[in-house]
Chain A
Amino acid sequence: GESVGLHLPTLSVQEGDNSIINCAYSNSASDYFIWYKQESGKGPQFIIDIRSNMDKRQGQRVTVLLNKTVKHLSLQIAATQPGDSAVYFCAESGPDDKIIFGKGTRLHILP
């Protein structure tokens, strides 16, 4: 099986409930933030992004919130489905063009 992510924090959510995944970023100069979803054996997939001139952005069933004061990012998934089961990563990018990833959170859906 997939060995990546064995020691990641896990969030367990009942199917149909909303999920909230949190991320603390490190660089106060970062101005672009992205959430990715990674399923077992695959590369990360883009979910939603937000630039530092916004504090909220909505997509289909997903919302990203940005709090620059405390350097915190969250991903909200509405009506969580079995297909949402994956590892979720936040990433930040700043003036140096480096895109740095957080450690990830495993989302586990309870039936």
Chain B
Amino acid sequence: NAGVTQTPKFQVLKTGQSMTLQCAQDMNHEYMSWYRQDPGMGLRLIHYSVGAGITDQGEVPNGYNVSRSTTEDFPLRLLSAAPSQTSVYFCASSSHFPQGGNSPLHFGNGTRLTVT
């Protein structure tokens, strides 16, 4: 049982480059989300999705795009990387109740991104 799988584990980009961080889960979870974690800032929500075809913005969405074409996958795209996007990125998933409400998030092991 793989849980939440993130690739790559490490990535170095030059300013202005674009890339996609991959996230896949095999638990049939409806809810998926992306966070970034910076020193002293905790985890900040970038984008989230309550099901296939539905995405919404979190606390810090600027500079990032997401799509949710399948239940399993929730890729995060950096359109034009900036040094301010240097961070550790975590993908997470959970069950979600149709009437509203969540269950605990399961996290991947993170992608450490450096933008020079």
Interface residues of A (CB under 8 A from B): 3-8, 31-32, 34, 36, 41-46, 49, 89, 91, 93, 95, 97-104
Contacts and interface: CB of A to CB of B under 8 A. Distances in A.
A100 B59 contact: yes
7 contacts: A4-B88, A7-B40, A43-B4, A43-B90, A44-B107, A93-B102, A97-B50
Summarize B's interface: helix, strand, loop or mixed. strand
B74 interface: no
Interface residues of B, number: 33
A11 B44 CA distance: 22
Interface of B: 4, 31, 33, 35, 37-45, 48, 50, 56, 58-59, 88, 90, 92, 96, 100-110
Nearest to B88: A4
Given A43-B108, A43-B109, A44-B90, A99 B42 contact: no
